[in-house]
Amino acid sequence: MITDALLRVSDAQALTTTAVSTNTIDLVTARDMGEGSELYFNFAMITAAVGGTSVKFEVISSAAAALTSPTVIGSSDAIVTASLPIGTNVAVRVNPALASLGQRYLGTRYTIVGTYTAGTVTADLVTDIQDGKKFYASGFSVT
């Protein structure tokens, strides 16, 4: 997974209340959005979520840079707090019908249930997902 600062919509953003990403991606800007490729938002927990009940990670588009009146174009299920320790990655696929919606801005929303006292997330638009948690057997030799 290769990331790009122009495709990062949240950078260690606090998860304390339902909110949209601090940044947006302007789809009018001349930029390759991976047309013909699957796109994902990778949500990485930078610090563990504390308190609260669950978080739903959503990909949204809007006609406004402030991401008001958004259209949800991808979503995770509600993920319980215990499943969001530091280092957790959640990938959400961007609906390929993105261009047909006629909306200019792309971002994310964090729908919070309960009261969170800590937790931060970074969200990047990517073309592939890096697992990074694969484990292979050890203690054997190849001859």
- 99-128: buried (b, 16+ CB within 10 Å) or exposed (e) per residue? eeeebbbbbbbbbbeeebeebbbbbbbbee
Q: Please answer whether residues 99 and 49 qualify as being in contact, where contact means their C-beta atoms are separated by less than 8 angstroms.
A: no
Count CB neighbours of 96 within 10 A.
Answer: 14
Cα(23)–Cα(121) distance, rounded to whole angstroms?
13
Tokens 């694969």 locate to: 134
pLDDT tens digits along 95-122: 877 767 778 899 999 999 999 999 999 9
Confidence of residue 140 (pLDDT cuts 50, 70, 90): low
Could you give the 3-state DSSP secondary structure of residue 109? strand
pLDDT tens digits along 42-62: 999 999 999 999 999 999 999
Q: Please answer whether residues 67 and 24 qualify as being in contact, where contact means their C-beta atoms are separated by less than 8 angstroms.
A: yes
DSSP state, 77? Answer: P
